[in-house]
Amino acid sequence: MMRDEEELEKFRNNVREWIEKNVPEEIKNKGDSASVTALREWQRKVYEAGYLGVSWPKEYGGWGEDPLKEIIVREEFAKAGLPYANLGLGVSVVGPTILLNGTEEQKKKYIKKILTAENIWCQGFSEPHAGSDLAGIKTKIEDKGDHFLVNGQKIWSSYAHIADYCLLLGRTGDPSERHKGMTMVIVDMKSEGIKVSPIRQITGRSEFNTVYFNNVKVPKENLVGKIGEGWKVAMSTLNYERFNIGTILFAVERILRDVSKKYSNEQLFNLAEDVVALRSFYRRLLERIKKGYVVGPEAAVIKLVASESIQKAYEIAVSNMGVDALIMERQAGFNPEFTYGLLASRSITIAGGTSEILRNLLGEVILGMPKG
């Protein structure tokens, strides 16, 4: 046990030293807002150093290491305020979904290119009238014998404007079948019949999009899981997405540390207590994952607490900044991170399942309370 802890501590020190020596100026100064080229190069460098795909299987390009090491890396990147594989949803959502549900060919074809950022991915689940009620999606996937044909509209698709592929949930059955008639496929975003239209966010950036699919041909080998079992695949995707969003816990810790250097108040103290409790919960879950457990509805607890905590952390930070909070451009003496974070974090309690939906889920699935 002691040896394990010592090894992890040594690993942590190596990550820190590596970051100090290797982070490029553009990434250090611009973080998430760096250019796509710079973020792509950065991700590749992180991967090649062994700090991405840490616990993913070696045969598909991962490093086959302890999942706790993966979390140590995420923690150290968050502490340094650096982006970690956030160019698209490949590493956070699609990779784990393909590893769990994909065919051998899909794992060989896609996983390594996800890690190296050679391919950028988006996730096509939500539709204009089907977000929280995901079972209400209407996008059609028709079986045409030698291929599928996709018709429909997706919305809020993050990174679709730069994506190479989309993990798309559609309907092979009748809409009245709800959860039963769904199917998951991989769509090449360069296919004919796809139109991507960006949506502007409160931050001024346009990172998500509406995507129209008009008679888009999809090869049969792009089916993920079985026809009619897309809901099952989608639920595993959502658990990974929520678990992954939960890693913003480490960003909350950094914000709290920065803010507490200048201010100290009761709100800050209460939030720090929540963060410590969440960290223990997270650590226990990781120990189970290490023994082969596949992350389930606990991911909703992590996502719920982490997303609400980061909003509170930015609110506390900004409320203490006075008029400086109004400066949104990075300039001498001012870092707009907190104001930008306050705006950007509004979305975190919506994306990947709203807080209301997660509370319903926890009530029903974990506490066994009656539906509705």
Ligand X SMILES: Cc1cc2nc3c(=O)[nH]c(=O)nc-3n(C[C@H](O)[C@H](O)[C@H](O)COP(=O)(O)OP(=O)(O)OC[C@H]3O[C@@H](n4cnc5c(N)ncnc54)[C@H](O)[C@@H]3O)c2cc1C
Return the active site residues: 241
CB 26 to ligand X: min, Å: 24
Beta-bridged to residue 334, according to DSSP, are 331
* 120 φ/ψ angles, rounded to the nearest 5 degrees: -105, 140
Which one, 137 or 218, has the nearer CB to ligand X? 137
* 369 φ/ψ angles, rounded to the nearest 5 degrees: -80, 160
Which one, 57 or 128, has the nearer CB to ligand X? 128
Contact predicate 110/142, CB 8 Å? no
Which one, 92 or 106, has the nearer CB to ligand X? 92
CB 125 to ligand X: min, Å: 3
d(CA 254, CA 271): 12
Q: Which residues contact 275 (CB under 8 A, 6 or more apart)?
A: 249, 252, 253, 256, 309
Structure-token pair, residue 85: 């594989």
Of all residues in this chain, which one has the CB nearest to ligand X in the complex? 131
Point out which residues bind ligand X (CB under 6 A): 122-126, 131-132, 156-158, 208, 347, 350-351, 353-354, 356-357, 360
Which one, 11 or 209, has the nearer CB to ligand X? 209
CB 272 to ligand X: min, Å: 26
**Residue type present at position 81:** G
CB 7 to ligand X: min, Å: 36
Which one, 106 or 203, has the nearer CB to ligand X? 203
CB 225 to ligand X: min, Å: 17
